[in-house]
Each structure stands twice: as C-alpha cells, then as structure tokens.
Amino acid sequence: MNRKSFIIASAAAAAGSALSTQAAGRTPKKSGFKISLAQWSIRAFHRAKPGADNYLDPLDFAKYAKNICGIGGLEYVNSFYFGKEGDDAYFAELKKRADGEGVKSLLIMCDRCGQVGASQEEVRIETVEKHKPWLAAAAQLGCHSIRVNAQSAGSFEEQQKLAVDGLTKLAEAAKPYGLNVIVENHGGLSSNGEWLSGVMKMVDLPTVGTLPDFGNFTLNRKTGEQYDRYKGIQELMPFAKGVSAKSHAFDAEGNETKSDYFRIMKIVADSGYRGYVGVEWEGGKPGTTEGIMLTKALIERAIAAL
C-alpha cells in the first residue's frame, strides 16, 4: 500500500469507528452529518472526449458517486446539462439512475444564468427567467434547492439592495416548485461574509439561504485580497442549507493545505447545522478520484474529532 492509499484507508477507518460510536448514541454532536459530492469535482471526466477512457457521461454521475466514491448525496452542476433544459425525459432518466443507485439528489448549482443583483430591473427579471428551467429540473430530480450566484455592481450597500431584490424575485419563482434558493460565497462581495449575511437578513425568507464554501473567500482576483474564511463561515452558517468542502491540495498527513477542516467543522457543528457536507475537489494533483477520496476522508476525520 502506498503512502497516499494508507492515508485514505486510515482516515476512513477512523471515521468508521467514530460513526459507530455515534450510532450508539454517545456523540449526538456528530449525528446528522452526511457526505455529498459536487459534480464540479469530476469536471475533467465530463469534459473528456466521448469514447475516451476517462470520459464519464453526466447521466452516470450517480453511478460514479455511489460505486467509486461511496457517496450518497448528489450536487449537480447545470453547465454539464446545457441543451437539456426543458427535456423532461432526460431528467426523468437522470432521476431514475439516481434512484437506482439509492442516492439522494440535493441541489443544482446554477451558473451562467445572468446577474441576480444586476443594476437594471429588466436584467434581474431576465435572470429569474433563465433560472426557471433549472428550478423545474431540480424539482423533477427531487432536490431541495438551486444554488445561485449573487453578482452585482456598485457600492457595498447598493449591491446588497440589488441582490435582495433579485433573490426575492427568485424565491417567488421557486415557490411553486417547493424549492429553496441558496447563495454560495463565490467571488467579489459574495465572498465577504458580512455582506452576504447582511443580504440574508434583509431578504428574511425561510426559503433563501446560503451554501458556505470552505475555500471561496477571494474578494479580488487581481490583488489576491482574501476574506478571513473562518470568520466568513461563521457569519454564513446561521443561514446554511448546505455546506461545500472545497479542497485544492493536501499535505503528507492528508490535510487540506489552506483550510483547517477540523476548525471549520467545529464552526459548522456549533452553528447547529446538521446535514450534507459536499466534497468539492478543485485541485489538479492528485487525480480526480484520489482528490475526492482524500477530501471525503478528511471530512470524516473532522466529524470524528468533534
């Protein structure tokens, strides 16, 4: 067994032992946590040429998550299904495969659908319309939410007001589908925990929440300015309807090099959140499956340490 395999196996064994204790009722703080897989983690497989050894049809997302990774929750990414909007038969097949594997569809991450906080109202209305096909798809799959981006322009306060209006409109559109609208810290002011938590307070709707991401706290890509990730996660967790465990690289002990998962998972647990923690591998090395499994093992170790 090589070093990396040993790390993964050891971490998984430790997590399994901890979860057995949890099942016995001695660690209620840990109960309720499950692991999901963000489809973005396997983008390299979906982007490969059909027929290539590493190609994975997006329809087989559930099969990969369950059988290769041992993960039971799915977080879809809309860009892998562009051109399938409104195709009920396609999403029926996607649901059939998820059900067949015994996994749960949780949400669709929606990108390239316009600016939720655009300065012009007609653009905000258009953005809502662009999200509607994904609302329909998410409902058909049995998801609880769609994840959106809160892009805007202007001052701190102006962007808050615009984002509030756009999110309120989206929440109204999501109501017939019984879905939540959740916002990820995803660059710009959305990566400012004070800004996004303020937006949540101003919206003040039970169906609008956050998807705190462990690693997306870059305020300015040009300057590299960062928001304190631990402070940001603490500010966003009161509104969380999901959690995204972003990972880029690991050290020799199997720890993520930029995010202290043990510290973050304590913040998550202390907030009262119980639910899925999504693996989102965004690194280059090791490979896709190895990166996913290292992330999963680290989450399990962090939960076991609570």
Tens-binned pLDDT, residue by residue, of the chain (306 aa):
343 343 344 344 433 433 333 333 333 456 799 999 999 999 999 999 999 999 999 999 999 999 999 999 999 999 999 999 999 999 999 999 999 999 999 999 999 999 999 999 999 999 999 999 999 999 999 999 999 999 899 999 999 999 999 999 999 999 999 999 999 999 889 999 999 999 999 999 999 999 999 999 999 989 999 999 999 999 999 999 999 999 999 999 999 999 999 999 999 999 999 999 999 999 988 999 999 999 999 999 999 999
- Vertex 9 angle, CA 7 and 14, to 5°: 95
Residues 6+ apart with CB under 8 A from 204: none
**Residue 146 and residue 138 in contact, taking contact as beta carbons nearer than 8 Å:** yes
Q: What is the pLDDT of residue 153?
A: 92
Record the pTM: 0.89
SS3 215: coil
All residues at 6 or more sequence positions from 82 whose CB lies less than 8 Å from its CB, including other chains? none
**Structure tokens belonging to residue 204:** 């003040």
Q: Domain containing 233 — which CATH number?
A: 3.20.20.150
Structure tokens that stand for 208 in this block = 């609008």
What total of structural domains would you count in the chain?
1
Range of the domain at 175: 3-304
